[in-house]
Amino acid sequence: MRLTRGALIVAAGALAPALLLTAPAFATGTAPASAAVAAASPADGTPVDEMSEEDLRIAILRILADEDSGRGVVREANEALDGTVEDMREFLKTGYRLAQAEDDRVAIVRILSDPDSGRGVKREATKALDTNTPEALRAFLETGYRLAQAEDDRVAIVRILSDPDSGRGVKREATKALDTN
**Region 101-116 average pLDDT:** 94
Average of per-residue pLDDT across 57-70: 93
- Torsion, Cα 119 121 126 128, to 10 degrees, reads 150
- Choosing from 113, 134, 152, the residue where a domain stops is 113
* pLDDT attached to residue 7: 45
Higher-pLDDT residue of 112 and 13 is 112
Provide the residue range defining the domain that includes 178: 1-30+117-181
Cβ partners under 8 Å of residue 55, min gap 6: 42, 46
Statement to judge: residues 104 and 125 lie in one domain: no
- Taking the C-alpha atoms of residue 175 and residue 60, their distance in angstroms, rounded to an integer, is 49
Question: How many domains are there within the chain?
Answer: 2
Q: How many CA atoms lie within 13 A of 166 on its CB side?
A: 19
53-65 vs 71-82: helix axis angle to the nearest 10? 160
d(CA 40, CA 42): 7
pLDDT tens-digit map of 119-173 = 999 999 999 999 989 999 999 999 999 999 999 988 888 888 888 888 888 888 8
Least confident of 38-42, 83-87, 95-99, 116-120: 38-42
Banded pLDDT at 176 (limits 50, 70, 90): confident
Mean pLDDT of the chain: 79
Nearest CA to 151 among 29, 25, 15, 24? Answer: 15
What amino acid occupies position 11?
Answer: A
| Same domain as 22, residue 46 | no
The amino acid present at 51, given as its one-letter code, is M
**Of 61, 93, 113, which one is at a domain's C-terminal end?**
113
Question: Both 109 and 60 in a single domain?
Answer: yes
Listed in sequence order, the residues at least 6 apart from 29 whose beta carbon sits closer than 8 Å to its beta carbon are 131, 133, 135, 136, 139
